[in-house]
A and B are shown apart, each in its own frame.
Chain A
Amino acid sequence: MTQQSSRLLLVAAILVVGLGTARHFLVPKTFGQRGHYRAAAVDAIEKLPIRYAGREACALCHAEIVATHSKARHQSVSCEVCHGPAAAHTESPADIKPPAPRTRGYCPLCHGYDPTRPTGFPQIDPVSHNPVKACISCHNPHAPEPPHTPEECGACHGQIARSKAVSRHAQLPCVQCHTTPEKHKVTPRLVHPEKPRTREFCGSCHAQDARSPKEILRIDMQSHNARYLCWQCHYPHQPEGD
């Protein structure tokens, strides 16, 4: 063997060993196991925590609600759409309670009117549709139905009934304010229903000290335009103002 070739061989050997050593330290351990990537990266991603448990997990405990919900119009709406990610709740049910949206802000995300939504999808105008009232006071979110407004008078008083149906007074039956004798239905022009005559009648719900649900708007009966009757400013079948 000549001197040159032995030296060349030495240099080549150093290069090969050097490359091997460098590769050993530089190439990640699991690189190339499954493809041109680090298999450990996939394992790390697989181990990430889940936040949404999935509706099957909810059904394990809340069988009763799921039974109602799975037959209703909202059946395609997963529990966690409204109640938020609930994986933490499934791990410690007593300590972590998922929230429920009870205000008017949430439902219009789906049901607020937008011309871009598919035709036929139930939508309302959040500004004029029963303002102030929480959606859940008329609609059961687990089994929503178009609310049934009292309509026994609507056969004759259709215009009033339609106004009232989209007003804040939608859920009040007509007889709440109009005491109606049975005979009015037989001889409507001879026997008339009663109308409220005093401010105090409206005050029985809307006065500061009225014993009525607390979300009902309140006014101070003494200072609030005491010289007028309520219906001189407010149309009771579609009361305005927020």
Chain B
Amino acid sequence: MDDPKRNSPCSEQPVSENRREFLHTFSLAAPLLLLGLRISAVEALAAEPAGAYNARDHYYGMGIDVSKCIGCGRCADACKNENDVPREPYYFRTWVERYVIGADGETDVDSPNGGIGGFTSKTPDKEILRTFFVPKLCNQCTDPPCVQVCPVGATFATEDGVVLVDNDYCIGCRYCIQACPYGARFLDPRTKTANKCTFCYHRVVKGLLPACVEVCPTGARVFGDLRQRNSPLARFTRFNKIMTLKPHLNTKPKVFYAQLDEEVR
């Protein structure tokens, strides 16, 4: 050790010089650095503007109060208007069924044109035990069988819990239509691809309600976010006894029915 100062941890001279140098350079560089941060922040904002829709913040579901449905079929009509569903009476994303349970225990179910033109009111020739309307649509299952069977990954569940169809990649094999236990899918005769309820995804991301919910005159349909504690749907599921369709299939539907009758399949 010829110069003890050089390696000594207590030597002050070189350190203080370095520190001064560092502070000097930093004072010059700091504005540039901050500017750089600022630019990257602005870029990040431009990429995802404030208030932009983030699918991860939502998880959608629908509530249907069977006792409020008057069977006007406005939902089925609005759905066809909004989503450009073929007008022929075979294609529906949502439809209304009329259940008439006779005193003899026989159940009649009908849905003329999905209920769009109204139900022909006929005096039934037998005694009615109970009768009601049931609106139906894709149940937006948490574990959707249609997604499992799609061979090309063209049907899928989004992060906000909506099952959608990729029109450009659907090969029209109809597996999903077969797999759906709720009969909620059809093959679009024009595009030859599978078609189904999207919860009006293009409306929902803009903060609008699905068309069927928008036009339901009695509030029988309720739409909302299952993650939010104060959404209309959260209130609906808190204050009603809830049933889902075909719960034994473990599809975990996100369409919740209140006042649902045992006869409904």
Chain A interface residues toward B at CB < 8 A: 28, 31, 34-38, 41-42, 44-52, 54-55, 74, 76-78, 80-81, 84-85, 108-110, 112-118, 121
Chain B interface residues toward A at CB < 8 A: 53, 55, 67-74, 78, 81-83, 98-100, 118-119, 121, 123-124, 128, 131-133, 153-154, 156-159, 164, 166-169, 198, 201-203, 205-206, 208-209, 211, 214-219
- How many Å from the CB of B239 to the closest CB on chain A? 17
How long is the Cα–Cα vector from A54 to B212 in the complex, in angstroms? 11
How long is the Cα–Cα vector from A40 to B71 in the complex, in angstroms? 37
- How many Å from the CB of A122 to the closest CB on chain B? 10
* Contacting pair B164 A42 (CB below 8 A): yes
* Contacting pair A54 B208 (CB below 8 A): yes
* Contacting pair B201 A46 (CB below 8 A): yes
* Contacting pair B153 A114 (CB below 8 A): no
* Contacting pair B118 A108 (CB below 8 A): yes
* Contacting pair B217 A28 (CB below 8 A): no
* Contacting pair B131 A115 (CB below 8 A): yes
Chosen A-B contacts, 6 in total, with CB atoms closer than 8 Å, are A41-B168, A55-B214, A74-B217, A80-B214, A115-B100, A116-B100
How long is the Cα–Cα vector from A31 to B169 in the complex, in angstroms? 11
Q: A46-B205, A52-B78 are in contact. List 5 more A-B contacts (CB 8 A).
A: A37-B158, A51-B211, A78-B217, A116-B98, A117-B133
Q: Of A34, A115, A118, which is within 8 A of B68 by CB?
A: A118
How long is the Cα–Cα vector from A76 to B129 in the complex, in angstroms? 30
Contacts of A85 in B (CB 8 A): 78, 81-82, 211
How long is the Cα–Cα vector from A34 to B98 in the complex, in angstroms? 40
Q: Of B99, B123, B156, which is within 8 A of A35 by CB?
A: B156
* Contacting pair B214 A78 (CB below 8 A): yes
- How many Å from the CB of B87 to the closest CB on chain A? 14
Residue of A nearest to B212 (CB): A52
Contacts of B78 in A (CB 8 A): 52, 80, 85
Q: Of A35, A41, A80, which is within 8 A of B167 by CB?
A: A41
Interface centre among B124, B154, B203 (most CB of A within 10 A): B203
* Contacting pair B121 A113 (CB below 8 A): yes
- How many Å from the CB of B68 to the closest CB on chain A? 7
* Contacting pair A48 B202 (CB below 8 A): yes
How long is the Cα–Cα vector from A50 to B131 in the complex, in angstroms? 35
* Contacting pair A37 B153 (CB below 8 A): yes
* Contacting pair B158 A35 (CB below 8 A): yes
Contacts of A45 in B (CB 8 A): 164, 198, 201-202
- How many Å from the CB of A86 to the closest CB on chain B? 11
Q: Of A37, A50, A81, which is within 8 A of B217 by CB?
A: A81
- How many Å from the CB of B46 to the closest CB on chain A? 17
